[in-house]
């Protein structure tokens, strides 16, 4: 009660200073943007250094990253830490999403292209590192703002590959969770084949181990939530993050990948490896199943729309909107009424 608040204040101040330093160097680095590869190298370097310092200040001193195999009978030697950092340009990284710390980890390790998913159009757009941090825990945006250009996921990844950009990170759940289950994926992979050999797909799972305070950030409807959570994260002496990825041999972008293997069950039964019917998004269903087996999280039927509906109810119950708007919402509002609530939160 005495030491942690002091620790939180000091570390929060240091995080702010490092973040400001990163913004300053990113601004200075724009001078190098016409030079292409030199700018990418510069941006990669400052991201790796400054973001890693921020992760350390948040109590994440060591990140265990291991590549695992899910096939029975394979050598246990596949479960070894990943060491080399090969060129990942043009890769598609698919991951669960539980916190702004996820965004920090990917920025540190890969300096990737972050994306935002729009469930109503099944398209994505590129967002900056800072925008990806803001979106973590925010009210989910279901459709793109007017005038914003979006693309189907496969087309977007191929476009980034042609530009020579870094790997593309996508969070197919569309919103943050509590790191104890996986929401039903937004069907953004519906235009992809199975296996999808035109791009390289990497499936990652981020897990947080904690007892009292969770470094996950499920929702923050205003900045007070964000600042309070960041302060408590800084006040922790240490936080634990572990990352697991599926062996490239078992990736659904491998030409020899079998959908039967991707949907195979695990000994843990219904909670983890249920064989699910392949709907319109065959690749998405396989990736969700593989991620469930990788994390040992339950796979839920709830979607990003369900979270938005719950937040609408939460906002009304907690006087988050004006009394004039309460009456129509209480009477099972139609799409127009719900849209007004969401617009206010966005």
Q: What is the mean pLDDT of each run of 10 residues along the chain (346 residues)?
A: 91 96 93 86 94 96 90 52 53 95 96 95 95 93 92 94 90 94 93 89 93 87 86 92 92 81 47 48 90 90 91 78 39 46 50
Question: What pLDDT digit, counting tens, does each position of 91-122 carry?
Answer: 999 999 999 999 999 999 999 999 999 999 99
The pLDDT, as a whole number, for residue 270 is 38
Residues in the chain: 346
In this structure, the number of other CB atoms found within 10 A of the CB of residue 128 comes to 11
The pLDDT, as a whole number, for residue 215 is 92
CA distance 148 to 96: 25
The pLDDT, as a whole number, for residue 260 is 60
The pLDDT, as a whole number, for residue 322 is 38
The pLDDT, as a whole number, for residue 203 is 95
Pure H helices in the chain: 3-29, 37-57, 100-109, 129-135, 153-163, 223-235, 259-262, 282-295, 304-317, 323-330, 335-345
The pLDDT, as a whole number, for residue 259 is 64
345 within 8 A of 315, measured Cβ to Cβ: yes
By DSSP bridging, strand 200-209 and strand 123-127 are unpaired
C-alpha to C-alpha distances, 193 to 1, 83, 146, 196, 319, nearest whole angstrom = 54, 30, 30, 5, 46
CA distance 112 to 130: 12
- Classify each residue of 321-333 as buried b or exposed e, where b means 16 or more C-beta atoms within 10 Å of its C-beta: beeebeeebeeeb
Residue spans of the domains in the chain: they are: 61-302, 305-345
> Global pTM?
0.84
242 within 8 A of 64, measured Cβ to Cβ: yes
The pLDDT, as a whole number, for residue 279 is 59
The pLDDT, as a whole number, for residue 153 is 95
CB under 8 Å to 32, separation ≥6 — which residues?
Answer: 38, 39, 42
Closest CA to 43 of 64, 57, 28: 28
Q: At what angle do helices 223-235 and 3-29 cross, to 10 degrees?
A: 110
């Amino acid at each position: 009660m005495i030491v942690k608040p002091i620790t939180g204040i000091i570390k929060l101040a240091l995080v702010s200073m490092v973040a400001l330093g990163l913004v300053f160097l990113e601004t200075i680095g724009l001078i190098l943007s016409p030079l292409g590869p030199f700018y990418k190298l510069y941006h990669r370097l400052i991201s790796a250094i400054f973001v890693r310092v921020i992760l350390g200040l948040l109590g994440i001193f060591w990140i265990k990253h291991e590549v695992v195999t899910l096939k029975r009978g394979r050598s246990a030697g596949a479960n070894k830490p990943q060491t080399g950092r090969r060129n990942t340009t043009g890769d598609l990284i698919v991951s669960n999403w539980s916190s702004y710390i996820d965004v920090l980890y990917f920025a540190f390790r890969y300096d990737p292209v972050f994306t935002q998913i729009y469930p109503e159009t099944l398209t994505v757009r590129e967002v900056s590192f800072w925008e990806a941090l803001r979106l973590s825990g925010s009210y989910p945006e279901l459709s793109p703002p007017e005038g914003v250009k979006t693309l189907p996921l496969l087309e977007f990844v191929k476009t980034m590959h042609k530009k020579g950009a870094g790997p593309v990170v996508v969070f197919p759940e569309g919103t943050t969770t509590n790191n104890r289950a996986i929401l039903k994926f937004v069907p953004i992979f519906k235009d992809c084949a199975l296996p999808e050999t035109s791009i390289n797909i990497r499936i990652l799972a981020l897990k947080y181990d904690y007892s009292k305070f969770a470094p996950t950030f499920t929702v923050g409807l205003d900045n007070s939530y964000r600042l309070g959570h960041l302060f408590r994260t800084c006040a922790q002496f240490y936080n634990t993050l572990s990352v697991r990825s599926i062996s490239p041999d078992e990736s659904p972008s491998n030409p020899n990948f079998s959908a039967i293997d991707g949907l195979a069950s695990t000994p843990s039964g219904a909670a983890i490896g249920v064989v699910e019917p392949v709907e319109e998004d065959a690749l998405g269903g396989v990736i969700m199943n593989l991620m469930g087996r990788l994390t040992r999280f339950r796979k839920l039927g709830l979607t990003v729309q369900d979270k938005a509906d719950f937040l609408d109810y939460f906002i009304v119950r907690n006087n988050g909107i004006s009394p004039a708007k309460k009456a129509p919402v209480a009477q099972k509002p139609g799409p127009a009424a719900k849209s007004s609530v969401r617009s206010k939160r966005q």
